[in-house]
Amino acid sequence: MHVFADPTNLDAYLSGFLWILKLTGASAVIALVLGVLLAAFRVSPVPVLRGFGAAWVNIFRNTPLTLIIFFCYFGLFSTLGLTLSDDLNLNNFWLGVVGLSVYTAAFVCESVRSGINTVPAGQAEAARAIGLTFFQTLRIVVLPQAGRAVVAPLGSVLIALCKNATIVGTIGLIEASSVMKQLINDNGDAVIPIFLVFAGTFAAILVPTGYFFGWLANRLAVKR
Amino acid sequence: MAQPGVDRPRFRDERPTGTVDDVTTGEPLIVLDGVNKYFGPLHVLDDVSLSVGKGEVVVVIGPSGSGKSTLCRTINRLEPIDSGTITFDGTPLPAEGKALAKLRSEVGMVFQSFNLFAHKTILENVTLGPVKVRKEKPAAARERGLALLDRVGIANQAEKYPAQLSGGQQQRAAIARALAMQPKAMLFDEPTSALDPEMVGEVLDVMTSLARDGMTMVVVTHEMGFARHAANRVIFMADGKLVEDAPPTEFFANPRSERARDFLSKILTH
């Protein structure tokens, strides 16, 4: 473990994972809001909104994330001049967040939509029958009951998002996988231990996350 | 009849002496004119015209698949129609949006499968509409909700969740939920069809009392007893068509159409 005994390497390791957590946190919030909104669009009675939601899902779910992140950098930033921060690192960070968010929102949307489909149609009919509007019906009656069915798949989406955050390394943000690559380059004698430390750190973050979502899903269960 | 216990509707002995037939029907509240609806190639409502007056109780009967549930659901536009017009209280049914939500708030609906909100208590089910749609104060809505639950005989279940109640109690709660909106009319879509036989009576008692209080009601049901004693008119439907429209005594004693005679012979001989 001589590699991580070096304070410079330890700092790089910690800051790499800090970027991963920041990317995951920011993208998760944006993707959740966007994804729920897209799911609402996809089940709405307005054809234009349904079409918009479907198009978003089909475009971003079926494009490799690396391409989306590259587009954010070379397309949005280099070509179209979209600058999100004057600080180079922060600019790369926010470009990464944009890419991760639009991509993950497509998966959030589909998880939420499948959860909505587990709520019996009669619940929404009864809500509409007492005069609730479409969005009230969704917010007050349908989404709270979709909870159990939505939370577990959303956990998987969040876990995937955290791992996908390593792709932002390709546009110059020194996140965990970039740090690992650098450390392996510098310490050819300790490739396996370095790899195991990074993989183990991801596992240490994500395994409890998975259990947390499983627990939450059971807590939110609605009796029928 | 059963004793009026804690869990029974309380108005049993408060019935007025007059019969339902005394209710004079005022101007039309619900008017369907030339309504057509298709499910794919199936012509589920075939040129249906019907007028329901204020305070009138209309019972819709007919064989399965005759379109009677669909008819009931078109009145608050849970099922959109393909042609014809439906007018409620002088206004044609609006398309999707705020206006439709407002109309629905004025038409109570009771479903075969109760459809109480599974994640809310019985009292929350009853107060949700008044608070969220009518913007009533929660305290006032709660007070009226409890009074309504008392009226349908389940005040002691107010804090429970729907899954903890029997079918009959759930359906009475669903009626209270609809009444909480102080609707101008009530639609009942086979309200007793999903109930155990011993619970049918308690729900029909509530409905009978509503009818006596002058509520305008459209009731899709297989309960011929209810049709006989609570309805002003019986509508008989078959194959999407409105076949007969007559007072219950006349309809049951002397159905005009072969189709209705055949239907009645099958259900009344048991």
The predicted-structure confidence for B89-138, as pLDDT tens digits, reads as follows 988 988 878 889 999 999 999 999 999 999 999 999 999 999 999 999 99
pLDDT value for B20: 46
Residue B270: exposed, middle, or buried by beta-carbon count in 10 A (0-12, 13-18, 19+)? exposed
pLDDT value for A223: 64
Distances (CA, A) of B260 to A99, A221, B242: 66, 47, 11
Cross-chain CB nearest to A141 (options B78, B117, B181): B117
| Mean pLDDT of the A121-138 span | 93
Nearest to B77 by CA among B116, B117, B109: B109
Query: Between A and B, how many residue pairs show a Cβ–Cβ distance under 8 A?
Result: 74
Q: Which residues of A touch B128 (CB under 8 A)?
A: 130, 132, 140
The answer to whether residue B86 scores a pLDDT higher than 70 is: yes
Q: Which residues of A touch B107 (CB under 8 A)?
A: 129
Mutate: best of B109, B132, B193, partner A, most A CBs <10 A: B132
Q: Which residues of A touch B117 (CB under 8 A)?
A: 123, 126-127, 141, 145
Band of the pLDDT at B249, cuts 50, 70, 90? very high
Nearest to A104 by CA among A158, A63, A54, A150: A158
Q: Which residues of B touch A120 (CB under 8 A)?
A: 113, 115
The answer to whether residue A152 scores a pLDDT higher than 90 is: no
- Largest Cα–Cα distance of chain A, in whole Å? 70
Minimal-distance CA residue of chain B relative to A44: B96
Shortest Cα distance from A59 to chain B (angstroms)? Answer: 29
Contact B231, B57 (CB under 8 A): yes
Looking at chain A, the whole-number percentage of residues with pLDDT higher than 90 is: 68
Domains and their CATH numbers in chain A = 2-220 (1.10.3720.10)
Strands in B75-226 per DSSP E: 83-88, 91-92, 107-110, 185-189, 216-220
Q: What is the rounded radius of gyration, in angstroms, for the C-alpha atoms of chain A?
A: 21
| Mean pLDDT of the A172-200 span | 90
Nearest to B244 by CA among A5, B231, A137: B231
Band of the pLDDT at B5, cuts 50, 70, 90? very low
| Mean pLDDT of the A66-88 span | 89
| Mean pLDDT of the A194-200 span | 93
Contact B35, B49 (CB under 8 A): yes
The answer to whether residue B16 scores a pLDDT higher than 60 is: no
Q: Is A221 part of the contact surface with chain B (CB cutoff 8 Å)?
A: no
> Is A132's CB within 8 Å of B119's CB?
no
pLDDT value for A81: 84
Six token digits for residue A37: 């909104």
Distance, CA of A154 to CA of A176 (rounded, Å): 23
Cross-chain CB nearest to B181 (options A130, A222, A224): A130
Q: Which residues of A touch B96 (CB under 8 A)?
A: 45, 134
Band of the pLDDT at B26, cuts 50, 70, 90? low
Band of the pLDDT at B6, cuts 50, 70, 90? very low
Please enumerate in sequence order all residues whose Cβ is within 8 A of that of A93, keeping only pairs 6 or more positions apart, or say none. Answer: A19, A22, A23, A85, A168, A173
> Is A125's CB within 8 Å of B128's CB?
no
Phi-psi group of B34: left, alpha or beta (phi > 0 → left; psi -120 to 50 → alpha; rest → beta): left
| Structure-model confidence comparison of residues B27 and B47, the more confident one | B47
Residue A36: exposed, middle, or buried by beta-carbon count in 10 A (0-12, 13-18, 19+)? buried
| Mean pLDDT of the A128-146 span | 92
- The single-letter code of the amino acid at A133 is T
Contact B72, B110 (CB under 8 A): no
Six token digits for residue A83: 């600058």
Q: Is A140 part of the contact surface with chain B (CB cutoff 8 Å)?
A: yes
> Is B102's CB within 8 Å of A141's CB?
no
Cross-chain CB nearest to A123 (options B102, B115, B177): B115
Angle between helices B197-212 and B167-179 (to 10 degrees): 20
Mutate: best of A130, A142, A224, partner B, most B CBs <10 A: A130
- Mean residue pLDDT of chain A comes to 91
Tens-digit pLDDT profile for residues A50-75: 999 999 999 999 999 999 999 999 99
pLDDT value for B269: 62
Band of the pLDDT at A224, cuts 50, 70, 90? low
The answer to whether residue B49 scores a pLDDT higher than 90 is: yes
Q: What is the pTM of this model?
A: 0.80
The answer to whether residue B22 scores a pLDDT higher than 50 is: no
Band of the pLDDT at A7, cuts 50, 70, 90? confident
| Structure-model confidence comparison of residues B7 and B220, the more confident one | B220
- Mean residue pLDDT of chain B comes to 87
Q: Which residues of A touch B181 (CB under 8 A)?
A: 130-131
Cross-chain CB nearest to B111 (options A126, A131, A132): A126
3-state DSSP call for residue A6?
Answer: coil
pLDDT value for B208: 93
Q: What is the rounded radius of gyration, in angstroms, for the C-alpha atoms of chain B?
A: 18
pLDDT value for A222: 67
| Structure-model confidence comparison of residues A132 and B14, the more confident one | A132
Tens-digit pLDDT profile for residues B35-46: 999 999 999 999
